[in-house]
């Protein structure tokens, strides 16, 4: 079994020391960084399986680091921050963070969340690897002018491939696989994020908003859309 690599990016030496101790005790390989402007370089050299990223850092803040990582990698990112503003959490999720842990926190909780995210990532990667020779029909959802391929992790709209972080694509695939069926936010969290996801239902709203911005065009006639069903949830509506 491969040893998972964790990159800790935080300017608090106490947090770095405690988390490093916990993760190494569990058999993880750990690299640390306390300067925001060095984080991308360390990430590129270390090639971690997951990143724990503080929001407020000297040199470059966590949101900018997350944005840069997402340009080239879908490595899971968990944001750590002392800020409690909901807007900060929403921004981090919109930039592609997989989870968000407010400070102060219990190291055991951080460890549990990391394990949960890595399990989901491993499951996704194993699925993609097993189908590396080609996509099965059930792994590709197609509608007029639109398709989502869960093996290649590609979304195509009107012939144009659209970049979409893994969790956005998985949410879109799930909805499109069940056309005209309404799902509550809790059902979407359960089916897309898994039982062990620690986030809030607001996470679903953020991801839906980002997906809509990428695939829907009010100036173009489309026979499909993600529709909000007030007081209920969402559905992928086809006409």
Residue with the bigger pLDDT between 86 and 3: it is 3
CB atoms within 10 A of CB 213: 9
Structure-token match 């990112």, residue found? 77
Q: How far is CA 206 from the centre of its chain?
A: 11
Q: For 26-85, what is each residue's pLDDT tens digit?
A: 999 999 999 999 999 999 999 999 999 998 899 999 999 998 998 888 898 998 887 666
Task: Please give the pLDDT value at position 120.
Answer: 73
More confident residue, 133 or 201: 201
Mean pLDDT estimate for the chain = 85
Give mean pLDDT, residues 176-191: 91
Single out the residue of 165, 162, 197, 190 nearest to residue 97, CA to CA.
165
Would you say residue 12 has pLDDT above 80?
Answer: yes
Q: Which helix (H) or strand (E) holds 9?
A: strand 5-9
Q: What percent of the chain has pLDDT over 70?
A: 86
- Hey, what domains does the chain have and what are their CATH numbers? 5-130 (3.40.50.2300), 137-238 (1.10.10.10)
pLDDT at 132: 45
Q: What is the pLDDT of residue 113?
A: 87
Predicted confidence at residue 200, as pLDDT, reads 61
Bond into 38 cis (ω within 30) = no
% of the chain surpassing 90 pLDDT: 46
Q: What is the mean pLDDT of residues 199-216?
A: 83
Q: What is the pLDDT of residue 15?
A: 94
Chain Cα centroid distance, residue 184? 20
Q: DSSP string covering 189-206, please?
A: IIIII-TT----THHHHH
């Amino acid at each position: 079994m491969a040893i998972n690599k964790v990159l800790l990016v935080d300017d608090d030496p106490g947090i770095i020391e405690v988390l490093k101790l916990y993760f190494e005790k569990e058999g993880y390989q750990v690299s640390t960084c306390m300067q925001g402007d060095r984080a991308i370089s360390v990430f590129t050299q270390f090639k971690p399986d997951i990143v724990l990223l503080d929001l407020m850092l000297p040199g470059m803040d966590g949101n900018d680091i997350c944005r840069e990582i997402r340009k080239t990698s879908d490595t899971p990112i968990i944001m750590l921050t002392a800020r409690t503003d909901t807007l900060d959490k929403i921004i981090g999720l919109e930039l592609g963070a997989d989870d968000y842990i407010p400070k102060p926190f219990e190291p055991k909780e951080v460890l549990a969340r990391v394990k949960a995210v890595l399990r989901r990532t491993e499951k996704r990667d194993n699925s993609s690897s097993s189908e590396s020779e080609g996509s099965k029909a059930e792994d590709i959802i197609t509608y007029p002018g639109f398709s989502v391929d869960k093996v290649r992790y590609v979304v195509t709209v009107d012939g144009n491939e659209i970049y979409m972080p893994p969790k956005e694509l998985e949410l879109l695939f799930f909805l499109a696989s069940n056309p005209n069926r309404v799902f509550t936010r809790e059902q979407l969290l359960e089916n897309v994020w898994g039982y062990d996801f620690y986030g809030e239902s607001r996470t679903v709203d953020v991801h839906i908003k980002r997906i809509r911005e990428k695939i829907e065009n009010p100036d173009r006639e489309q026979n499909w859309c993600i529709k909000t069903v007030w007081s209920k949830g969402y559905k992928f509506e086809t006409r």
